[in-house]
Amino acid sequence: MKEIQQKIEKLLLKIQRPARYIGGELGQVVKDKSQVNVRFAFCFPDVYDVGMSHLGMKILYGLKNSRPNWWCERVFMPEKDFGQKMRENDIPLYALESLDPIRDFDFIGFTLQYELSYTNVLEMLDLAGLPVHSRDRHELTPIVVGGGPCVCDPEPMADFFDLFIIGEGEEVNCELMELYERMKPSHLSKEEFLREAAKIDGIYVPSFYDVSYNEDGTVESVKPNREGVPETVKKRVITDLEHSYYPESFVVPFTSIVHDRAVVEVLRGCIRGCRFCQAGFIYRPFREKSIGTIEHQTKCLCEQTGYEQVSLSSLSTSDHPQIETLLDTLAGYTDSENINLSLPSLRIDKFSEELLEKIASVRKSGLTFAPEAGTQHLRDVINKNITEDEIMHTCKMAFEAGYGTVKLYFMLGLPEETDEDVLGIADLAHKVVDLYYSTPREVRASSIQVSVSTATFVPKPFTPFEFEPQAMPEDIERKQKLIIDAIKSKKIRFSYHQQPVSMLEAVLARGDRRICDVIYTAWKKGCTLDSWDEHFRPDLWDEAFTECGIDREFYANRRRGYDEVMPWSHLDYLVSREFLIRENKKAHEAVTTRNCAEGCSGCGIGSGYGGTYCKGTQHL
């Protein structure tokens, strides 16, 4: 530690925001090394500001450190300036608590939250002084593990990881570390350990499976190549969220991060089933915490961290069965303590006047809505069950309460999208502006700004749209122009996503193992921090695809048949293939599906996973 600390201290005043690289924050866990027998480096493959905002890391960090003989530490991707300095000065990637090099740890764990962070994983392994390919790391440790939503198709990263953790991590992480702790004294080989690990539910060891391909390039099969390895790996679910571990304190950063506040998870899963939304399917079933537990966790976190803001986290907070009582209860506490309660992820249809007042009572900033599509027809296709009336009603309430900025989020390139749907986006924005001007002058804000932003739709695994092609870049560009030409009001600001990024995401999201070489090649050429506009190098990715002989359109823009073996077909996220096919067909007919609270639609989860609405589940 001392050696690395001396080396980095010489550099810290020469780089941007050094507080990100030295640790020492309140709430960090420091242990006596002699009392610890399993060390885990929890790596977030992006910069500190982003990674420190991630709730999953806070949960698993606290959980692992609650065992006296385990020590979990944090590691982030250095910015380019510090990364370069580390290489120049032979500083290996280190963990923030101990400042020890992570190559000496027992486990190195990465959370894969978005595809554009993949090259950062390679960069971090390399900075740590480790071979990036699993096959080149012969020793038992460090064991490189991956988790997070992207591992529902881990194949593009299969060459770099020793094992993946499928589904929710609270239980299986502990089971894995317990296994290691038990087996460590017998000095076993990496192969021996991985064989035992593969017996744990939810653990997928990619090297234990062989992939074969058809002549047309599609996957023929993914089969175990060793005895005792399961044909399919089923995701793990925390069935009792109410009593599941939740941290009582967070590491409180000095430097400002993206989400710099206390965060309480109020529910997991989503009842809605919007057909484009991967989170809406892979985190099923819907489970909520009780008001008492949420209140207790809120107080605990606020007191321990000293944060002046607490945010309720979930995919759709207003779907909590007792949302009104919950907010009343919490507001009683937060108001008295001068704490700001914030509620992201509210659905428009649930936006009552009372709710609006509660979030408006402190600061009148802006309202953000995600209608996702410009017309009712297309909203029906994607099963986003909100109507234009509901959007207008909410905006009317907001304008009357004095809101002056509205952000509207849409997607372009959705299945069944016509030019009429695209023009509907501009149309809706104009209607919102008109609504502002029809609001009485005395109550409305002094000016109006409507920001319209469109992202390019990226089809994702385990959604009803996993079969769909991504729209061709030319088509998206044409549609973006359509909107630009249709916007007449100066009060509307329009922004849209870069094309090459969306296409790369589409390839990585539904790729197979042949994409590993592309990622490796792109990284070798210098691609890292791809999610940052200033660092993204589409030209280098182009070269990488060409050199590896990989046709992007095969992955991004091809329609898959209902009977095609997907690169992720050997993973079971509990939602059945039949349900996804049924939902895909209904999408093309623009028929909506009811949400879980209204009645079961037979997604296949069944009643064994603690879902609030899964009791007496129907099987359609």
Partner 1 sequence: MLMPKNQNLIVERWDYRLTFAKEGRARYISHLDLMRTMQRAIKRAKVPIWYTQGFNPHAYLMFPLALPLGTDSRIEILDVALTEDIPFDKVVEMLNSSMPEGLYFVNAARPVMKHTEIAAAEYDIAAELSSSADEMLAKWEGFISQDEILIEKRTKPKKGRKQPGVKLIDIKPHITVVSAEADGNILHLKLRLPAGGEFNLNTSVVTDAFFAYAECEPEQIYTTRTKILAVNGADFV
Where does this chain bind partner 1 (CB under 8 A)? 9-10, 12-13, 17-19, 22-26, 252, 254-256, 260, 303-308, 335, 338, 360-364, 401-402
228: which 2 tokens?
Answer: 């005792």
Which residue's CB is nearer to partner 1, number 9 or number 434? Answer: 9
- Between 335 and 517, CB nearer to partner 1: 335
Q: Measured from the CB atom, is 364 or 594 closer to partner 1? A: 364
Q: Name which of 5 and 345 has its Cβ closer to partner 1.
A: 5
Q: How far is the CB of 592 from partner 1 (least distance, A)?
A: 37
336's CB contacts (< 8 A; 6+ apart) are none
H or E segment at 76? strand 70-76
- Encode 324-355: b = buried (16+ Cβ within 10 Å), e = exposed: eebbebbeeebeeeebbbbbebbbbebbeeeb
- Which two tokens mark 1? 């530690």
Secondary structure of 455-502 in HEC code, one letter for each residue: EECCCCCCCCCCCCCCCCHHHHHHHHHHHHHHCCCCCEEEEECCHHHH
**CB closer to partner 1, 254 vs 562:** 254
Output 357 or 598, the one with its CB closest to partner 1.
357
Residues 6+ apart with CB under 8 A from 540: 522, 525, 526, 527
Q: How far is the CB of 347 from partner 1 (least distance, A)?
A: 24
- Min separation Cβ 348 and partner 1, Å: 22
Torsion of CA 529, 530, 532, 537, to 10 degrees: 110
Residue 198, amino acid: A
Q: Residues 235, 153: contact at Cβ < 8 Å?
A: no
Q: Output the smallest distance, CB 2 to partner 1, in A.
A: 13
Token digits for 564? 């095609």
Q: Extract the tokens encoding 539.
A: 């030209």
Minimum CB separation from partner 1 for residue 449, in Å?
20
Percentage helix, strand, coil for the chain under 3-state DSSP, each rounded to 5: 40, 15, 45
In angstroms, the CA 299 to CA 288 distance is 18
Q: Which is nearer to partner 1, 25 or 126 (CB)?
A: 25
Q: Across the beta sheet with 309-313, what order do the strands follow? A: 262-265, 309-313, 340-342
Taking the least distance from each CB to partner 1, the nearer of 21 and 161 is 21
Choice between 185 and 440, CB closer to partner 1: 440
Lateral strand order in the sheet of 405-412:
366-372, 405-412, 449-456, 492-496
C-alpha gyration radius of the chain? 24
Q: How far is the CB of 328 from partner 1 (least distance, A)?
A: 17
| Least Å from the CB of residue 10 to partner 1 | 5
* Residue type, position 543, single letter: E
Comparing CB distances to partner 1, the nearer of 308 and 543 is 308
Query: How near is the Cβ of 399 to partner 1 at its closest, in Å?
Result: 14
Structure tokens at 374: 């410009």
Beta carbon of residue 23, minimum distance to partner 1 (angstroms, whole number): 7
Count other Cβ atoms within 10 Å, centred on residue 569.
Answer: 15
| Integer Cα distance of 468 and 470 in angstroms | 7
> In whole angstroms, how close is the CB of 243 to partner 1 at the nearest point?
27
- Alpha-helical segments (H) within 90-224: 118-127, 169-183, 190-197
The CA distance from 388 to 430, in Å, is 13
Contact between 394 and 351 under an 8 Å Cβ cutoff? The reply is yes
Q: Tell me how far, at minimum, the Cβ of 189 lies from partner 1, in Å.
A: 39
| CB-nearer residue toward partner 1: 3 or 419 | 3
Residue placing its CB nearer to partner 1 in the complex, 136 or 442: 442
Q: How far is the CB of 21 from partner 1 (least distance, A)?
A: 8
CA distances (Å), 443 to each of 142, 358, 439, in order?
62, 18, 7
